[in-house]
Amino acid sequence: PNPNRPLREDLVLQASLEAYGGVRREGRLSDRALEFVLRRKTLLYSTERRAVAERVYALLRRQRTVDFLLEHSHRNFETLDGTRQDVMRLAASRILHGEDPNYVARTCGLSGPDITVLDRLPDAAAELDALPEAKRFPIAASLPDFLAEKFRAVFGKDASRAAEAMNERAPLFARVNALKGDRAQLQERLAAEDVESTKPTALSPFGIVMETRLNIFSLQNFKDGWLEIQDEGSQLLGMLVDAPPTRVVDACAGAGGKTLQLAAQMKNRGDLHALDVDEGRMEDLRKRARRAGVHNVRTQIIPPEGPEAEAALAPLKGQADRVLVDAPCSGTGTFRRKPDARYRLTPESLAEHVARQKALLARFATLVKPGGRLIYGTCSVLREENEEVVEDFLAQHPEFTVRPVAEVLGAELGKKVGSGPFLRLAPHTHGTDGFFGAVLVRAK
């Protein structure tokens, strides 16, 4: 299909409205809502499908800002019917992201009074800028108030920069499967497949940055198991495990991005136990492992809690050289990719995450053998889920001590990824998703 063909704006708008409505009015996750709508819109060109996804994500990232601007440009914005509000939101978001207001108004089918509203957006933006910082920041960052406060606590004077970077589109990162070859070989193989514009990641020695418009899954190199989609920050967290070819446990394996990375660290030797509570994700992991040529992984479904969970883990007690607990978390580090997650998070759900993280760390610590290491990680930027969970664990488990990440990653890389003993990554500092990692060593 011809990529320069003009978008059929009416079709794009209709699909965008349906997907956006699925997220905001029916509570679907953004990626599922888009998939659901786009699967049924078989007539859209690939450029149009991409425009739908980009516009819906762009609006979700800037939801609070857009709503503020519209409420200040339109006297009765709240009283408009839902669809008309959403058309205005999609239009305002496109203008906010640099599109020409006249073109946007025309392609959204807006008439007189609505166009006047769009013309007033710059004045509304000036009103936003004039607010006192404490009021301005949550709206400009498009974060719920309680999260905005936490961002300011974590990032201090960099809070605005941090939030801005969280509202950009994320790059597409892939990791070379080290069982097949190295990064340079992968880049050569991709070039042979006409994928020219890849560059090495700045921090991870295994990563490449790819053109986001690419469908990786259709590449032969993907089918042959040469690469996995994995954020650079996630790759660095995987590197903290530094897994020897003995017995290693990935305690919250999920669909297994890090599991496969650990298998490569172990050179496919030893025993790598991948545990999770979800059968569907485990099935994904088995498929991915087959594609990657990984055969040292043993998958095990474990009950989420209670005596059954303890019983399931009994054979591994005190047996593992490394245990990775990549804990379920608020996802505050991944807002670039899951922009709607910020509106679902509440102080209550955050407290539940923290309680679960503490419980998981304590439970899986029992698998670490004397002299072994427990690696704790999250894709959150909040202290409650990171440093505070580690401090709480150490207070109750004096047999564990912190090993500074620089000692695992080497001084040069260590300096770049955390000024203290922990790994701390964020989009505005490292260009990765937000991640935290800690290495805890059990006394011999």
Contact indicator for 38, 132 with CB cutoff of 8 Å: no
Phi first, then psi: what are they for 334, rounded to 5°?
A: -110, 20
CB 214 within 8 A of CB 246: no
- The pLDDT assigned to 43 comes to 92
Task: Look at strands 172-176 and 227-229 and give their pairing.
Answer: antiparallel
Contact (CB, 8 A) for 357 and 389: yes
Q: Which two tokens stand for residue 47?
A: 């450029």
Per-residue model confidence (pLDDT) at position 280: 93
CA angle 262, 266, 267 (to 5 degrees): 115
The CATH number of the domain covering residues in 9-130: 1.10.940.10
pLDDT at 325: 98
- The pLDDT value given to residue 3: 64
The count of C-alpha atoms lying within 13 angstroms of the C-alpha of 65, restricted to the half-sphere facing its C-beta, is 25
Answer yes or no: is 326 a known binding residue: yes
Q: Is 379 a catalytic residue?
A: yes
Q: Are strands 297-301 and 320-326 parallel, antiparallel or unpaired?
A: unpaired
Report the pLDDT value the prediction gives residue 391, as an integer from 0 to 100: 98
Please provide the CATH number assigned to the domain covering 172-229: 3.30.70.1170
- Decide: 194 and 226 in contact? Cβ < 8 Å: no
| List of the chain residues with pLDDT < 50 | none
> Domain 232-442 in CATH: superfamily?
Vaccinia Virus protein VP39 (3.40.50.150)
Q: What does the pLDDT look like over 234-251, one tens digit per residue? A: 999 999 999 999 999 999
Q: Is there a binding annotation on residue 278?
A: no
Q: Do domains 9-130 and 172-229 have the same CATH topology?
A: no
- Domain ranges in the chain? 9-130, 172-229, 232-442
- pLDDT score recorded for residue 304: 87
